[in-house]
C-alpha cells in the first residue's frame, strides 16, 4: 500500500485515477454518497427494524471506512485531484437528504434520508483532508451508528405495536408510552447533533475541518443543521404529542428486554457527548498517520498584517532627495 501511495510502480497517473474512480464508485454506493443513494430508503422500508439497524448503523460504514483506508491511502494524488468534486457531492447529499426527509410521510423512509444527510458530513470530513475533518468523520462513524441504531430500534418498537409506518396514523404516543417517547426524543436529538449528545462534537469537528479548506461548503453544511432540526422535531410533534389518535390507545410502553437494548445506546450517546476524549485519543494517532501517508497538511491560518500609516511609512523610509 505504501508503494502504491508513493507511486513507486511507475504507472501512468491516468491509470491511478481510473483505479481510484473504480474504488470510489463501489464505496460511494455502499456509503451512500449522493447521487448513488437511491437504494437506501427502499431497503430501509422493506427491512425489519433489526435488519435496518445492522445495515445503516454498521454495514454502511464499510463504504466510508473504505474511502478513508483505501481511496486516500492507496491513491493520494487522485484523491486530491477529485477532492473538490467529492466534497461538492457530499454537501449536496447533506442538504438533499435533509430537504427530502422533511417531506416524508413514512417514518422509516424519513429516518433513512437522515442517514443520507449524515453520510454526506462523514464523506466531506474525509475528503477535505484536514486533521479535524478526518478525526470528526471517524468519530462520526461511531456516533452515527449509536444514534441511528437507537432511533431505528425505537421507531421499530413503535411500528410493531401500531402496525403502521405512516406518520399520519400516530399522535399522542407520549401519553400512553412515556418511556418510549422519552427515549425517542433523546435519540432524535442526537440525530440532529444537539450539544451534549455524542454526534455534536463529531459534526462540529467536520464543519471546522471543512471550513479551514472550503468555507463555502461548510456554510452550506450549517444550513443542513437547521433543516435537520425541522424534520426531527416535526416528526416528534406529529407522532408523540397532541391528542391520542384512534388506535394508539393500545400502544404499550417499552418492556424490560427492550429497555435493556436501548439503554446502553442512550447512555453512550450521553457519555460521549460530554467526554469524547478516550475515543479521540484512539482516533487521532491514526488520523495523523493517514495525513502523513497522503502527504497532506492542515491549511495554515491566514494572518492579517497591519497596514502602516502613510506618515509612518515615509518616516521609516527616510527623507527623499
- List the chain pLDDT tens, one digit each, 321 residues: 544 554 545 567 788 888 888 888 888 888 888 888 778 787 877 777 777 777 777 777 888 888 888 888 888 888 888 888 999 999 999 999 888 888 888 888 888 888 888 888 899 999 988 888 889 999 999 998 898 889 888 888 888 888 888 888 888 888 888 899 899 999 999 988 888 898 888 989 999 888 888 888 888 888 888 888 888 888 888 888 888 888 778 888 888 888 898 999 999 999 999 998 999 999 988 888 888 887 777 776 654 455 555 554 444 445 444
Number of C-alpha atoms within 13 angstroms, CB side, residue 12?
3
Quick one: pLDDT at residue 300? 66
Position 313 scores a pLDDT of: 44
State the Cα–Cα distance between residues 57 and 35, nearest whole angstrom.
20
Q: What is the pTM of this model?
A: 0.81
Give the integer Cα–Cα distance in Å for 81 and 184. 42
Selection from 227, 226, 148 nearest residue 188 by Cα: 148
Contact, 96 vs 116, CB < 8 A? yes
Distance between CA 225 and CA 198 in Å, rounded? 15
Residue 135: closest CA among 283, 11, 316, 320: 283
**The pLDDT of residue 251:** 82
Q: Is the peptide bond before 77 cis (omega within 30 degrees of 0)?
A: no
The confidence score (pLDDT) of residue 308 equals: 56
Distance CA 24, CA 22 (A): 5
DSSP sequence for 192-228: TT-TTSHHHHHHHHHHHHHHTT-HHHHHHHHHHHHHH
The pLDDT of residue 6 is 47
Please report the pLDDT score of residue 305 as a whole number.
52
The helix/strand/coil state of 292 is helix
Q: What is the pLDDT of residue 307?
A: 53
| Bond prior to 35 in cis (omega within 30° of 0) | yes
Question: What's the pLDDT at 304?
Answer: 47
What pLDDT, on a 0 to 100 scale, did the predictor assign at position 175? 87
- φ/ψ of residue 32, rounded to 5: -100, 135
Amino acid at each position: 500500500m505504501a508503494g502504491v501511495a508513493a507511486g513507486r510502480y511507475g504507472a501512468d497517473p491516468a491509470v491511478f485515477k481510473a483505479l481510484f474512480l473504480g474504488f470510489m464508485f463501489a464505496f460511494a454506493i455502499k456509503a451512500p454518497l449522493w447521487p448513488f443513494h437511491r437504494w437506501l430508503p427502499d431497503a430501509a422500508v422493506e427491512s425489519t427494524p433489526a435488519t435496518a439497524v445492522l445495515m445503516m448503523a454498521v454495514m454502511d460504514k464499510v463504504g466510508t471506512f473504505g474511502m478513508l483506508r483505501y481511496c486516500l491511502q492507496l491513491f493520494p494524488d487522485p484523491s486530491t485531484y477529485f477532492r473538490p468534486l467529492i466534497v461538492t457531492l457530499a454537501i449536496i447529499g447533506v442538504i438533499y437528504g435533509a430537504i427530502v426527509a422533511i417531506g416524508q410521510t413514512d417514518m422509516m423512509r424519513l429516518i433513512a434520508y437522515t442517514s443520507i444527510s449524515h453520510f454526506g458530513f462523514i464523506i466531506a470530513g474525509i475528503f477535505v483532508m484536514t486533521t479535524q475533518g478526518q478525526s470528526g468523520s471517524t468519530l462520526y462513524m461511531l456516533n452515527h451508528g449509536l444514534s441511528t441504531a437507537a432511533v431505528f430500534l425505537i421507531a421499530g418498537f413503535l411500528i410493531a405495536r401500531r402496525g403502521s409506518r405512516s406518520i399520519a396514523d400516530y399522535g399522542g404516543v407520549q401519553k400512553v408510552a412515556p418511556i418510549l417517547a422519552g427515549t425517542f426524543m433523546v435519540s432524535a436529538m442526537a440525530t440532529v447533533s444537539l450539544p451534549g449528545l455524542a454526534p455534536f462534537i463529531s459534526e462540529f469537528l467536520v464543519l471546522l475541518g471543512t471550513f479551514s479548506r472550503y468555507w463555502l461548503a461548510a456554510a452550506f453544511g450549517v444550513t443542513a443543521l437547521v433543516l435537520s432540526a425541522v424534520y426531527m422535531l416535526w416528526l416528534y410533534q406529529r407522532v408523540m404529542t397532541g391528542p391520542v389518535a384512534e388506535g394508539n390507545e393500545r400502544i404499550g410502553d417499552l418492556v424490560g428486554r427492550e429497555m435493556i437494548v436501548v439503554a446502553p445506546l442512550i447512555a453512550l450517546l450521553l457519555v460521549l457527548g460530554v467526554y469524547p476524549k478516550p475515543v479521540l485519543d484512539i482516533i487521532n494517532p491514526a488520523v495523523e498517520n493517514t495525513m502523513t501517508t497522503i502527504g497532506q497538511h492542515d491549511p495554515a491560518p491566514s494572518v492579517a498584517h497591519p497596514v502602516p500609516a502613510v506618515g509612518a511609512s515615509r518616516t521609516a523610509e527616510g527623507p527623499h532627495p
